Amino acid sequence: MSKNLFVGYNERDTFMHRLSGSTKLIGFVSLSIIGMVTFDTRFLLGIFLFSIILFWKSQIKLSEISFILKVIIAFAAFNIFLVYVFSPGYGISIYGSHHMILGNPNQFFNLSWEELLYLFNVLLKYTFAVPLALIFLLTTEPSEFAASLNKIGVSYRISYSVEITLRYIPDVQRDYRTISLAQQARGYEISKKANLITRAKGAVQIILPLIFTSLDRIETVSQAMSLRRFGRHNKRTWYMARRFEMADYLAFFVIFLIVIVGVLLFKVNNGRFWNPFN
Amino acid sequence: MVEPLISFKDFSFKYDSQAEDTLKHINLDIYPGEKVLIAGASGSGKSTLGRVINGLIPHAYPGTISGSCVVNGKEVADSSLFDLSFDVGTVLQDSDSQFVGLTVAEDMAFSLENDQVSQAEMKSAVSKWAKTLQLNELLKNSPQEISGGQKQRVAMGGVLIDESQVLLFDEPLASLDPAAGLASMKLIDELATKQSLTVVLIEHRIEEVLHANIDRLVVLRDGEIVANDSPNKILESEELVGLGLREPLYLSVLRRAGIAITDCRQIGHAETITNPAIAESLKSWTKGAKLTYADKKMTSLLELRDIKFAYGAGKNVIDGLNLIVHQGEIISLVGQNGTGKSTLSNLITGFLTPDSGKILFAGEDMADLSVKERSEKIGYILQDPNQMISKTTVFEEVSSGLVLREISNEEIQTQVNEVLKICGLYEMRHWPISALSFGQKKRVTIAAILVLDPKMLILDEPTAGQDFRHYTEIMSFLEKVCAEKDLTVILITHDMHLMLEYTTRTIVLDAGHVIMDDTPAKVLTSDNILQRASLAKTSLYTLASRFGLPSADDFVAKFIESERRMR
């Protein structure tokens, strides 16, 4: 049940599943950084293709991620739209030239090839990291998350809070359902039949007991953890940690190469932007 | 001479948040290899004593200590929680909250991870203890996938893996059904012998804990030790009841039959107690006792006809269930976890809609009634009052359901005050909820439902985790209110005492069917049913069969009735 979060781990045997969680996390983080910094369309297209291939290789089914995918697409589209609406001439000011499609550079609303290229870059930035993030989430056992975070340098207390959150989400969901049923049984309408204000009031009726129940639980959990010496040392080991194997080192090498290419392109392009209009 | 492993010397403790000492001048030695039960009513200080042993006092609960408590040579007040945790492994009352890992194996390894033990060592330790505790099949399971008894075993594994000498259990029976509780007590006994552990059990349910073959019984009252002896010595005397605890039923019935417990031998278990006079006395007592049959008019109030229900496309959770509940009955609904008890109550209250079949209330088909409309007829009360209370004062909480009905303020005042008086809460009507005890909160939740004037109540485990005194308080209150308002009640429970003492009819659910519908005494004397419902045999039944009484259920029923009359 804990695995049925909106995206959850799927046990399959692929190359991506066999990589250690830390490797995937490092890959995701470093490619995201270099991808966010650069505006080289060729490079962005390259890593976009790369992440799509990895995604395909990890045998994640589209049906498993359709919901989150729709959310991301809607968000990205809306964002691109806003970026254009607020500053339609931004592409022109970046690339320093204007190849117009509609209107002229003196109007506020105009459309240039420069702006289109800029928007395309932004779109790529939003999308290339998505498959990578999904790969990390869906091919790494939740139990390994905390260990992976800790391994890449996040303090183990923070890392473990991720694990504890995953552990208790289903319990809190269960509490929520129980409380909600009990409140409805007293006449609080929270279904779609009632108007918004009534529903909001009904929701408050649930939230309050939920908070108190959760606070009680947090106290017990933290006691249970200190009774088993959580926080005694500055470091801890992880039952579910994975050792780096050959494949992981290979992956690091590939990641390193990609990042280097990205950095070298800054030099070639004399900056973050690749400018085909010169 | 053997040194005590745990030694309290004139130990007193006062919580910073409280005005008086919770523990007063405790002197107690616990020796290596002993199994000690620390019993007492709620508020007697027994949990506080446990917290001293594992070091949560003073490290997590600040307060004032006087005197000394030494655990394995370490003065508790001067050692860290971490140091003490090597000597004392604690299994908390709520083994679900103690489960901090995502899977069984991770949770068992938790303390080793914190000690920076290598992965290989962890794996071998986990597999060793998983084998001992029969958890090998479950290593990869999440806490949501395993039962209460299994969770408790995981919690035991998680502390035994430290090889600590003392195992401390805080109310180990509170969250287990009777069968799992019995199994847990036997396992504790077995483990203690095999691993030569010292075991400290904090519990108020003495009869069940006796199955762990404890060596010593320590009884606390108001922060002081009032009894500290071998269990047999204490059981012989009649003092337990005076201390707010429940005496084992088999002893009560023998006393009732006129047998002096002091003349009996091996009194620790219903299976072993002997005295040549028992058989004769029990037989003649049973013969002499009369059962009264209350002639009630049987008007059907709630009727379920061939109800079927499945979640999604899964298999039927409720599978062709038929049931008639009569006006004024108090019924217990029992069955293993996952047999559809909550599904059934959700079908009745309207949160779920049956796939087929009919639910009639006072002859009216409820299919078209919304949850809200049904709530005017049927009240549903959760086990944990904290999950129900959403206002800050007693009056606000009790009136909140009426406020929704848009009736005049004066009307609300009158109705609420009337219910508050019935529930004995009128004097507290302006109190903040946080100032109430558990039992009082429970009454508030019941009052908040009663004010809606339902005809029927469904209560989920109304007395879970309550000691004998509070249990009696809650149930006599409920009994009184039901009689006054002519309510019909369904109690969902695992508590066999509750079934026997307060309900007249027991419905046993298994795999979505009613597998038995009879008096509680009959249900609790049917071997096969007990197993399927995860209940345990009562010691009364054991006595009846050991001493050749003609009818076990007749014997049980008569005893319960005589108890009722005594109340």
Best residue of B100, B380, B403, B452 to probe chain A, by most A CBs closer than 10 Å:
B100
Residue B474 inside a domain? The answer is: yes
Mean pLDDT of B61-75: 94
Interchain contact, A240 vs B370, CB within 8 Å: no
Q: What order of strands is seen across the sheet that includes strand B300-310?
A: B316-326, B300-310, B356-361, B364-365
Is the pLDDT higher at B120 or at A205?
B120
Q: Within this chain, do residues B203 and B339 fall inside the same structural domain, yes or no?
A: no
Chain A positions in Cβ-Cβ contact with residue B379 (cut-off 8 Å):
185
How many domains are contained in chain B?
2
The verdict on B124 touching A (C-beta cutoff 8 Å) is: no
Interchain contact, B144 vs A2, CB within 8 Å: yes
Give the CATH number for residue B115: 3.40.50.300
Nearest to A224 among B97, B142, B449 (CB): B97
Interchain contact, B390 vs A206, CB within 8 Å: yes
Q: Within this chain, do residues B225 and B134 fall inside the same structural domain, yes or no?
A: yes
Interchain contact, A229 vs B85, CB within 8 Å: yes
What is the predicted pLDDT for the residue at B50?
A: 95
| Closest chain A residue by Cα to residue B53 | A227
Q: Quick one: pLDDT band at residue B96, thresholds 50, 70, 90?
A: confident
- Cα angle B419-B424-B427, degrees, rounded to a multiple of 5: 95
Chain A positions in Cβ-Cβ contact with residue B389 (cut-off 8 Å):
209
Domain boundary among B183, B213, B237: B237
Nearest to B113 among A181, A220, A236 (CB): A236
Q: What percent of chain B has pLDDT over 90?
A: 65
Please classify residue B270 by burial: count the beta carbons closer than 10 Å to its beta carbon, then call 0-12 exposed, 13-18 middle and 19+ buried: buried
Q: Is A269 helix (H, G, I), strand (E, B) or coil?
A: helix
What is the predicted pLDDT for the residue at A277?
A: 83
What is the predicted pLDDT for the residue at B241?
A: 82
Please classify residue B1 by burial: count the beta carbons closer than 10 Å to its beta carbon, then call 0-12 exposed, 13-18 middle and 19+ buried: exposed
- Please answer whether residues B59 and B49 qualify as being in contact, where contact means their C-beta atoms are separated by less than 8 angstroms: no
Chain B positions in Cβ-Cβ contact with residue A225 (cut-off 8 Å):
100, 110
Q: Within this chain, do residues B351 and B484 fall inside the same structural domain, yes or no?
A: yes
B58 pLDDT higher than 70: yes
Is the pLDDT higher at B470 or at B321?
B321
* Domain range list for chain A: 19-141+242-269, 151-227
Chain A positions in Cβ-Cβ contact with residue B162 (cut-off 8 Å):
228
Interchain contact, B60 vs A226, CB within 8 Å: yes
- To the nearest whole Å, the CA of A274 is away from the closest chain B CA by 46
Q: Within this chain, do residues B36 and B161 fall inside the same structural domain, yes or no?
A: yes
Q: Quick one: pLDDT band at residue B313, thresholds 50, 70, 90?
A: confident
Nearest to A228 among B114, B349, B375 (CB): B114
| Closest chain A residue by Cα to residue B102 | A167
Chain A positions in Cβ-Cβ contact with residue B374 (cut-off 8 Å):
185
What is the predicted pLDDT for the residue at A198?
A: 76
Chain B positions in Cβ-Cβ contact with residue A228 (cut-off 8 Å):
85, 100, 110-111, 114, 158-159, 162
Interchain contact, B387 vs A171, CB within 8 Å: no
Give residue for tokens 């009689």: B483
- To the nearest whole Å, the CA of B282 is away from the closest chain A CA by 46
- To the nearest whole Å, the CA of B314 is away from the closest chain A CA by 15
Interchain contact, A237 vs B370, CB within 8 Å: no
The verdict on B145 touching A (C-beta cutoff 8 Å) is: yes
Do you find a cis peptide bond into B58, omega within 30 degrees of 0?
A: yes
Mean pLDDT of B368-376: 86
- Kindly report, residue by residue over B244-259, the tens digit of the pLDDT: 888 999 999 999 999 9
Mean pLDDT of B289-293: 79
Interchain contact, B97 vs A233, CB within 8 Å: no
Chain A positions in Cβ-Cβ contact with residue B101 (cut-off 8 Å):
143, 163, 167, 239
Nearest to B380 among A170, A185, A232 (CB): A185
Mean pLDDT of B185-196: 94
Residue B279 inside a domain? The answer is: no
DSSP class per residue in B374-443:
HHTTEEEE-S-GGGT--SSBHHHHHHHHHHTTT--HHHHHHHHHHHHHHTT-GGGTTSBGGGS-HHHHHH
Q: Within this chain, do residues B374 and B518 fall inside the same structural domain, yes or no?
A: yes
B2 pLDDT higher than 90: no
- Kindly report, residue by residue over B152-184, the tens digit of the pLDDT: 999 999 999 999 899 999 999 988 889 999 999
Least confident of A148-162, B201-215, B459-473, B495-509: B459-473
Chain A positions in Cβ-Cβ contact with residue B393 (cut-off 8 Å):
none
Tell me how far apart the alpha carbons of residues A21 and A174 are, in angstroms, rounded to a whole number: 29
Interchain contact, B384 vs A170, CB within 8 Å: no
- To the nearest whole Å, the CA of B419 is away from the closest chain A CA by 16
The verdict on B118 touching A (C-beta cutoff 8 Å) is: yes
Interchain contact, B102 vs A163, CB within 8 Å: yes
Chain A positions in Cβ-Cβ contact with residue B380 (cut-off 8 Å):
181-182, 185
| Closest chain B residue by Cα to residue A156 | B114
Residue B47 inside a domain? The answer is: yes
Tell me how far apart the alpha carbons of residues B367 and B357 are, in angstroms, rounded to a whole number: 10
Chain B positions in Cβ-Cβ contact with residue A235 (cut-off 8 Å):
116
- To the nearest whole Å, the CA of A254 is away from the closest chain B CA by 29
| Closest chain A residue by Cα to residue B98 | A224
The pTM assigned to this predicted structure is 0.86
Q: What percent of chain B has pLDDT over 70?
A: 99
Interchain contact, B144 vs A170, CB within 8 Å: yes
- Please answer whether residues B497 and B484 qualify as being in contact, where contact means their C-beta atoms are separated by less than 8 angstroms: no
Mean pLDDT of chain B: 91
DSSP character at residue B229: E
Interchain contact, B371 vs A239, CB within 8 Å: no
Q: Within this chain, do residues B305 and B233 fall inside the same structural domain, yes or no?
A: no
Q: What order of strands is seen across the sheet that includes strand B74-75?
A: B23-30, B6-15, B63-71, B74-75
The verdict on B370 touching A (C-beta cutoff 8 Å) is: yes
Q: Quick one: pLDDT band at residue B296, thresholds 50, 70, 90?
A: low
Please classify residue A42 by burial: count the beta carbons closer than 10 Å to its beta carbon, then call 0-12 exposed, 13-18 middle and 19+ buried: exposed
Nearest to A233 among B114, B142, B380 (CB): B114
What is the predicted pLDDT for the residue at A109?
A: 87
Helices (H) and strands (E) in chain B, counts: 24, 20
Mean pLDDT of B360-388: 89
Residue B111 inside a domain? The answer is: yes
Burial B116-153 (b: 16+ CB within 10 A, else e): ebebeebeebbeebbebbebeebbebbbeebbbbbbbb
Q: Quick one: pLDDT band at residue B437, thresholds 50, 70, 90?
A: confident
Question: Can you tell me the ipTM of this complex?
Answer: 0.84
Domain that holds residue B17: 6-237
What is the predicted pLDDT for the residue at B397?
A: 92
| Closest chain B residue by Cα to residue A221 | B97
The pLDDT tens digits along chain A (278 residues) read: 333 444 567 778 888 888 999 999 999 999 999 999 999 999 999 999 999 999 998 888 888 888 888 888 899 999 999 999 998 889 888 898 888 888 888 888 889 999 999 999 999 998 898 899 989 888 888 888 899 999 889 999 999 998 898 888 888 888 888 888 888 878 777 666 677 787 777 788 888 888 888 888 898 999 999 999 999 999 999 999 988 999 999 999 999 999 999 999 999 998 888 988 87
Interchain contact, B390 vs A230, CB within 8 Å: no
- To the nearest whole Å, the CA of B122 is away from the closest chain A CA by 7
What is the predicted pLDDT for the residue at B522?
A: 92
What is the predicted pLDDT for the residue at A3?
A: 38
